[in-house]
Structure 1
Amino acid sequence: MESFPTIISVDDHTVEPPDVWRDRLPAKFRDAGPRIVRAPIKEMTFLGGRFAPVMGAPGDAGPVADWWVYEDLHRPLTRLDTAVGYSRDDIGLEGITYEEMRPGSFSVPERLADMDANHVQSALCFPTFPRFCGQTFTEAADRELALLCVRAYNDWMTEEWCGPAARGRLIPLAIVPLWDAALAAQEVRRNAARGVRAVCFSEIPPYLGLPSVHTDAWDPFLRACDETGTVVAMHIGSSSRMPSTSEDAPPAVSSALTFANCCFSMADWLMSGAFTRFPDLRLMYAEGQIGWIPYILERADTVWENNRKWGGIGDKVLEPPSELFAQHIHGCFFDDAFGLRNLDAIGVGNVLYETDYPHSDSTWPRSREVAEEQMGHLTPDVVERIVRGNAIELLGLTPDGLWAGAPARG
């Protein structure tokens, strides 16, 4: 295409700088909050969809990494957190330090430069240390500190990562205290008041020991999202359990099945009745791709038509699931030629584009080329909607594709 629209990526990632929490927590909590410790890696595996690192003691032999330490959690930064710029054949499960990662992973000026190199105008970024829906803090023992950590992250995300230096090109994405739906609602409203239009949530909350979307437990949170126009963003892995088949299945199995939890999650939401209670609620599935969506909608409609009475949804799911999907749900992709060939069965208005920077799956720095190769059969107006127009509408961006809530430059 002679003129390809600049991309708005709805799924990139930030690697939090070491001082995010130490600079923002009250003095009495700074030594207990998340902090970076440089230490050796004693052992690290990723089998059966579960990541299991073991931190060595100072002076132990082994490769050195920067570790986030918080309560009993020891989590190293890894090459999988920030893989762009490396040959995919050289990307392994290994620990790294900040000096060994691409600066655009954690520095705003370098991130904007890498976005320029990738034909990306704006980007919505998911967390790394808090994990994809903030479940790190949900699992913490000290809930007072955990709530402060959630708020500190959102302050950093909004005021610094997406602050004046970003010039509206970085779009804020909040986390919430998932252990308390009322507190979560308060945090949604606090951030919505400063222009934040997206919040992380778990694709399958019961995997985290939380209530399912079939209860009314989440209603305060969902009501806050509904009333403020806040999009509920669910990333693959936001249930802390990547799909797998056995305890010894290699990571490639989970990687091939990344869409599966999105599939389960969407069936949950479509059959939950939540869209009847909250008619303005919007969901998006990050990094789940889109090729699987048409069959799930077809099957869900069949179940709704034939089995809704005995299936337990007759009094709460009042429209065909495919119609609910069209009104409420967006699928996100970065490399899905099959999905694009079946776009009519998904809906042009229900598809968003992403680049997954700086992860190993990322199409950086070839996101434009990949998009052009896979969208060559689409008309320019459809391409425009997929790579930026739908994101502008969903996330409340300016017509130019920038975050309108960015603080004014002095």
Structure 2
Amino acid sequence: MDTHDSTFPLIISVDDHTVEPASVWQDRLPGKYRGVGPRIVRAPVKEMTFLGGRFKPVMGQPGDDGPVGDWWVYEDLRRPLTRLDTAVGYDRDEIRLEVITYEQMRPGSYDVTERLADMDVNHVQSALCFPTFPRFCGQTFTEAKDHELGLLCVRAYNDWMVEEWCGPDARGRLIPLPLIPLWDADLAAAEVRRNAARGVRAVAFSEIPPFLGLPSIHTDDWDPFLAACDETGTVVAMHIGSSSRMPSTSADAPPAVGSTITYANCCFSMVDWLMSGKFEQFPNLKVMYAEGQIGWIPYILERADVVWEENRGWGGVADKVHRPPSELFAEHVYGCFFDDAFGLRNLDSIGVGNVLYETDYPHSDSTWPKSREVGEAQMGHLEPDVVERIVRGNAIELLGLTAEGLWPGGGGAR
């Protein structure tokens, strides 16, 4: 464990990422599915664009000209590993949208022992990791044609996440984040309970389900899933982009536009939840927004309260939202940030208990290996007990970690 001479608390990052090893599904799917289940193929790229918030790669054939990378192949899907999946260790100006192989990425992206070593370098004790190939809430399996296979893939990923990625070698320092079969709320509820029974206290979900062709949270379609989360104390974790539609302004807007406004889906989603009545229907429900930053939250809470106070009659929420949205936020919602000096200067308008820290390893936005230095610079005006809560205390309470900041189900948290 890192022993830097610093009073800054050891970080619990609530938003890092794993790049799944090539064997995850091949090792766990029934034999008849291995030929069609997710598998890695090395091939050149024919074309690849990322405009207007849409990522469009086209795989070439063996022998074609073009850079060669490792591609996930699953049904009709061809999805390459890219430098944006694992950019840490590279100079910012050298990071491009390009295909890569496993050998060309930092081993901590997919190897537990190497990940812990990179966490040590970055003053990080524990980390919750979102997926890569399944996408941030399992959209890959939701969009697949064969949902019987999709369900097996979801369960296989969750077993790998709990038993291997967060298994004994992780010593309690990696915190599991399973997926659900988004196409069936009853199956989703069963998967929440299956994982809760082995100590898991978080699950990935979409920030805006209708963008995936799924029901909104204003319906009762999700109630079985939400009831399972409410009963088991499972946090609903929503990452930017978990609606498969990153914010943008036009089909030809460069990625820099979307990257600047990535918080927008979190903003829209939070208003959805605050005006849905679900927090009153499920009083133990908690939601968190990974990589959404926090500086935008005070105004939205102010505006939501005004709308609720003045317009709830014709606004369609008077019969289900009986308290000011800001009160519901304080009890149910957590904002996550890795670099937000403005939000930290306005912490009183957000709530010390509603903010979590993250490092976003190994993505291009990551503050690795200087997450401690970034935190020290941006939190220098705060009292030590406030810094402690933001950097680790709130995460320990929310995710049911031990007092030492470890996942109780991990090999080193006994």
TM > 0.5 fold call: yes
Aligned to 2:347: 343
Deviation, structure 1 residue 406 = 1.6
**Counterpart of 1:331 in 2: which secondary structure?**
strand
Deviation, structure 1 residue 405 = 1.3
230, 235, 240: which one pairs with 1:226? 230
Aligned to 1:359: 363
Aligned to 1:193: 197
CA deviation digits over 1:278-323, x for unaligned, max 9? 0000000000000000000000000000000100000100110000
CA deviation digits over 1:228-251, x for unaligned, max 9? 000000000000000000000000
Q: Where in structure 2 are there 5+ consecutive unaligned residues?
A: none
**Counterpart of 1:308 in 2: which secondary structure?**
helix
Give the fraction of aligned pairs with identical amino acids, expressed as a percent: 81
Aligned to 2:156: 152
Aligned to 2:212: 208
CA deviation digits over 1:82-107, x for unaligned, max 9? 00000000000000000000000000
Asked whether the 8 Å contact 2:402–2:413 carries over to 1, the reply is no
Task: Provide the aligned C-alpha RMSD in A.
Answer: 1.0
1:30 maps to a residue whose letter is R
Aligned to 1:180: 184
CA deviation digits over 1:365-403, x for unaligned, max 9? 000000000000000000000000000000000000000
1:229 maps to a residue whose letter is G
Q: Distance in 1 between matches of 2:88 and 2:261?
A: 22
Q: Distance in 1 between matches of 2:322 and 2:236?
A: 22
**Counterpart of 2:93 in 1: which secondary structure?**
helix
Deviation, structure 1 residue 276 = 1.1
Aligned to 1:319: 323
Asked whether the 8 Å contact 2:169–2:411 carries over to 1, the reply is no
39, 58, 61: which one pairs with 1:57? 61
Asked whether the 8 Å contact 1:164–1:409 carries over to 2, the reply is no
Q: Distance in 2 between matches of 1:2 and 1:89?
A: 30
Q: List structure 1 segments (4+ residues) > 4 angstroms apart after TM superposition.
A: 407-410
Aligned to 1:290: 294
The structure-2 alpha-carbon separation of the partners of 1:409 and 1:216, relative to structure 1 and needing over 3 Å to count, comes to closer
Asked whether the 8 Å contact 1:47–1:248 carries over to 2, the reply is yes
1:48 maps to a residue whose letter is G
Q: Where in structure 1 are there 5+ consecutive unaligned residues?
A: none
Aligned to 1:95: 99
Aligned to 2:78: 74
Q: Distance in 1 between matches of 2:412 and 2:390?
A: 29
Aligned to 1:16: 20
Deviation, structure 1 residue 2 = 4.2
**Counterpart of 2:85 in 1: which secondary structure?**
coil
Moved more, 343-352 or 1-10: 1-10
1:217 aligns with 2:221: yes
274, 277, 281: which one pairs with 1:277? 281
Asked whether the 8 Å contact 2:212–2:243 carries over to 1, the reply is yes
Q: Number of aligned residue pairs: give it.
A: 410
Q: Distance in 1 between matches of 2:356 and 2:66?
A: 42
TM-score of the two chains, using structure 2 as the length reference = 0.98
254, 259, 262: which one pairs with 2:263? 259
Deviation, structure 1 residue 409 = 9.3
1:24 maps to a residue whose letter is R
